[in-house]
């Protein structure tokens, strides 16, 4: 089974976390892509997708993720059968918009028929927990074995 990690970043933290997740999941075939370089219509339901997405501004998607989700909204591909997990990054000092980028990503994918699985990780930059440390722990909880059995 192939694992496709898509990251949307403003300052590079999401890319760093995506690379860390790829290392943690190296027992699988793993590919990492910047969302700015991916057409949503090319997503393959046979792959397990991980979306790593930061939050920018007032609870918005990062600049690197906007073209992907604009295309998703414009072309409206059927993503039925596609399974994905989300690792969001944000800062709780922003209150209601904390980790909103990852939540928007999940909402937009599920609107197109994709199924979110596993725990939606929400890293908080206001804690002492480093994003990569949280990502390593989170990777171990992903339901990849049950996904393989379900395909």
The predicted-structure confidence for 41-72, as pLDDT tens digits, reads as follows 999 999 999 999 999 988 999 999 999 999 99
Is 114 domain-assigned?
A: yes
Please give the average per-residue pLDDT across 5-28, as a whole number.
Answer: 95
Helices within 97-139 (DSSP H only) = 100-111, 131-139
Q: What is the Cα–Cα distance from 102 to 146, expressed in whole angstroms?
A: 23
pTM listed for this prediction: 0.93
Question: Which CATH number covers residue 30?
Answer: 3.40.50.360
Is 121 domain-assigned?
A: yes
Is 149 domain-assigned?
A: no
Interval 69-128: pLDDT, tens: 999 999 999 999 999 999 999 999 988 999 999 999 999 999 999 999 999 999 999 999
Q: How many domains does the chain have?
A: 1
Domain housing 134: 2-144
Is 51 domain-assigned?
A: yes
Pairing type for strands 29-34 and 121-124 reads unpaired
């Amino acid at each position: 089974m192939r694992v496709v990690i898509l990251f949307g970043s403003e300052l590079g933290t999401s890319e760093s976390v995506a690379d860390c997740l790829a290392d943690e999941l190296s027992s699988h075939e793993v590919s990492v892509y910047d969302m700015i370089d991916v057409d949503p219509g090319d997503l393959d339901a046979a792959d397990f997708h991980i979306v790593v997405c930061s939050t920018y501004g007032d609870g918005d998607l990062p600049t690197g993720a906007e073209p992907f989700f604009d295309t998703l909204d414009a072309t409206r591909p059927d993503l039925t059968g596609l399974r994905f997990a989300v690792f969001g990054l944000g800062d709780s000092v922003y209150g209601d918009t904390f980790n909103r980028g990852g939540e928007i990503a999940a909402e937009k994918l599920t609107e197109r028929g994709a199924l979110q699985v596993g725990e939606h990780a929400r890293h908080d930059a206001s804690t002492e927990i480093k994003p990569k440390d949280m990502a390593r722990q989170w990777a171990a909880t992903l339901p990849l074995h049950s996904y393989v059995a379900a395909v």
